[in-house]
Structure 1
Amino acid sequence: MKNKPYAQSGFTLVEMVVVILILSALAITAYARIAHIDVQARQASLQSFKATVVSVATMAKGVCMSDPQCASNQPTSSAAIEGNTIYFSHGYPMGWRGNEDGTGTLQQLLEVGNFSVQPSLSDTNRAIYYLQGARDASHCKLEYTISTGAASSSGLTVSIDNSGC
């Protein structure tokens, strides 16, 4: 009888180690890419909220300018928007304290979602919105400020701090 040569059945230890090293390198690369995806999502949420705030404030200012009772050169005025009385400061919706419960302000015009407004603002010309679930909420926020200089220089500033998202 003829003896058959030995046929290899399986992988050698060297082949297994090489495959494990290649898979490890791929896993490290994938982890590096997805490790900060939650941070990027929170930063994108903050950018999106900023765009929403600017749009709502700009559209509300347009409504105010078209309403004879809400002149943009008056420090404080009001206009009806969708059946609600919204208070304005220098032509923009107030940041927070229109009424004691916060109604009649920018807060009433926004769908804030995962954002919470600073509850103790006494300044009607600003509001600070914090993103809930951020690593450092004090540095993952949006600030809405109406500058109250001369009528010609008054304007809206919406800034974000995303360093703690």
Structure 2
Amino acid sequence: MNKGFNKGAQGGFTLIELIVVIVILGILAATALPKFASLSGDARGASLKSAKGAISAASAMLHGKWLISNATPIAVEGASIDMVFGYPSQGTIALAAGLDPKEYVATPNGQQMTFRPINMPAALNATCFVSYNEATAAVPTPVIVVNTDKCE
């Protein structure tokens, strides 16, 4: 018995199989898209949390240096950091924390400095920021607030 190829048979996918595969790929893409779409918001939030950490660390280290020297301004790596009640002023905290002006927009408001990612849409200004409120008396420390609620 010699079984050969049937000359009338066709090989490959049928149209229905092709449509089913395309539908399945579409469902998978629709499921994965929201995760990839929110990555920029997650990156902004992580950047702001990193900035908050840098501000907190710089504030604490400079306060320690101020306690030892009891002098103002304090020189750090060639930069002069103004101190208010033993903590960096709002005007020099970005310099002290090493925040790059190419990455953050700094907005002063009285004794507060607010930082936002430079490439962020203006509509997110009220909900995506880190702020530094300088010390207002010898005992309280500066208040550092990060808001990443709606950074997408």
Confirm or deny a common fold (TM above 0.5).
yes
Whether the 8 Å contact between 1:131 and 1:137 is mirrored in structure 2 is no
2-structure distance, mates of 1:9, 1:80: 78
Q: How big is the shift at 1:80? A: 2.8
**Contact residue 134 and residue 164 of structure 1 kept, 8 A:** no
Quote how far apart the aligned CAs of 1:131 are.
Answer: 1.7
| Unaligned ranges ≥5, structure 1 | 71-76, 97-104
Aligned equivalents of 1:37, 1:51: Cα separation in 2: 21
How many Å apart are 1:132 and its aligned residue?
1.4
**Displacement of 1:161:** 2.0
Matched, 1:109 2:96: yes
Q: TM-score, normalised by structure 1?
A: 0.76
Equivalent residue for 1:145, pick from 130, 133, 137: 133
1:13 alignment counterpart: 15
| Superposed displacement of residue 86, structure 1 | 2.0
Match of 2:145 in 1: 159
Deviations 1:78-97 (A, max 9, x none): 3333343322111111011x
Greater RCO, 1 or 2 (C-alpha within 8 Å, sep 6+): 2
Alignment TM-score, normalising by the size of structure 2? 0.81
* Superposed CA offset, 1:11-46 (max 9, x none): 112111111111111111221220111111111111
Give the paired residue count: 144
1:99 — aligned with what?
none
Task: Name the CA distance, whole Å, in 2 between partners of 1:107 and 1:46.
Answer: 13
When you count helix as a share of all residues, which structure comes out higher? Answer: 2
Question: 1:87 and 2:82 equivalent?
Answer: yes
**SS at structure 2 position matched to 1:163:** coil
Secondary structure of residue in 1 paired with 2:25: helix
The list of structure 1 runs, each at least 4 consecutive aligned residues, that deviate by more than 6 angstroms after superposition, is none
Gaps of 5+ in 2: none
